[in-house]
Amino acid sequence: MQEKRRCHRIGIELPASYQASPAFRSISIATTLDISATGLCLLTREPLIVGQEIALQITLPVEGKVIVNVRVIWIKEIYTAMTTEFQIGVQIIEPMRADERAFVRFYAKQLRAVRPPIPE
């Protein structure tokens, strides 16, 4: 199977939250499993719908909380003995605002740490 992603993914767990629907005031909790400049993979106990758009609040270690607007691309149910969780692949929605740019800068720093520049 050929890889479709345009950007390298970095495995990193960051706390995140979102409101699944404006009709509900409850906030759902998630954790990132990996990130890239164009999307993320989340782990959550709340299912979402493919195509759904949400404002995802992510807490970055130094930068603090940012809100990244994303669209759900895929969902995978994970069954354990105690509960059902969902891995959810999301894509960052254009146009990028200040928070999305802060997230991409954070990703770039992480990428440089994982893949140092090649000397010329």
According to the model, what pLDDT value does residue 109 have? 87
Q: What is the pTM of this model?
A: 0.80
Binned at pLDDT 50, 70 and 90, residue 1 comes out as: very low
The two tokens of residue 60 are 């970055």
CA distances for 109 relative to 23, 30, 51, 103, angstroms: 37, 22, 29, 10
For the segment(s) 10-113, the CATH number from 3.40.1280.10, 3.40.50.970, 3.30.420.10, 2.40.10.220 is 2.40.10.220
Give the tens place of pLDDT for each residue, 93-103.
Answer: 977 788 888 88
According to the model, what pLDDT value does residue 117 have? 59
According to the model, what pLDDT value does residue 70 have? 94
Q: Is 62 helix (H, G, I), strand (E, B) or coil?
A: coil
24 phi and psi, to 5 degrees?
-105, 140
